[in-house]
Amino acid sequence: MYIIKEGKLAVVADDGITQFVVLSDGSYFGEISILNIKGSKAGNRRTANIKSIGYSDLFCLSKDDLMEALTEYPDAKGMLEEKGKQILMKDGLLDVNIANAGHDPKDLEEKVTRMEGSVGLLQTRFARILAEYESMQQKLKQRLTKVEKFLKPLIETEFSAIEGSGVESGPTDSTQD
């Protein structure tokens, strides 16, 4: 797949002279041969001839790199496939019956792969959160132990003083005078 960085390119007929459309900066072509669009009569072959009009600078995106990017951005893949289907339909290169028939097993494989990646990511996050929880729980137990050690002598001293003074412990009724 090619993305035009700078310049103009013409989509031309097989004679190389008749121009159908002129592409400019930011336009792209070659996506149809990469996407394996279901129902394409062209298969994975190119469907257009391109001719540069003067100087042109292009980015080249390999099939593997494009598929990797589209795995992470399924909405973009859907948009590219839809545009590809429209182009193929306009040129009479799309078998509509095949294109509309059920889901492609490759699509399901891609979804499973994405879901496996998501599950792996969630497992990693859960493990990190669990480790943080256990660490925090350990710190809280240590703090509680320190507080108990600090308060134990104070509590014992106060109770022994109360027992020795003959004061009854228990609730007092403030309504009696």
Amino acid at 40: S
Count Cβ neighbours within 10 Å for each residue of 97-119 and write b for 16 or more, e otherwise: eeeeeeeeeeeeebeeeeeeeee
pTM for the model stands at: 0.49
Confidence of residue 177 (pLDDT cuts 50, 70, 90): very low
* Residue 127: Cβ within 10 Å count: 10
The set of residues, in sequence order, having a beta carbon less than 8 Å from that of 169 and lying 6+ positions away, is 162
Confidence of residue 133 (pLDDT cuts 50, 70, 90): very high
Question: What would the pLDDT profile of 48-58 be if each residue is shown by its tens digit?
Answer: 789 999 999 99
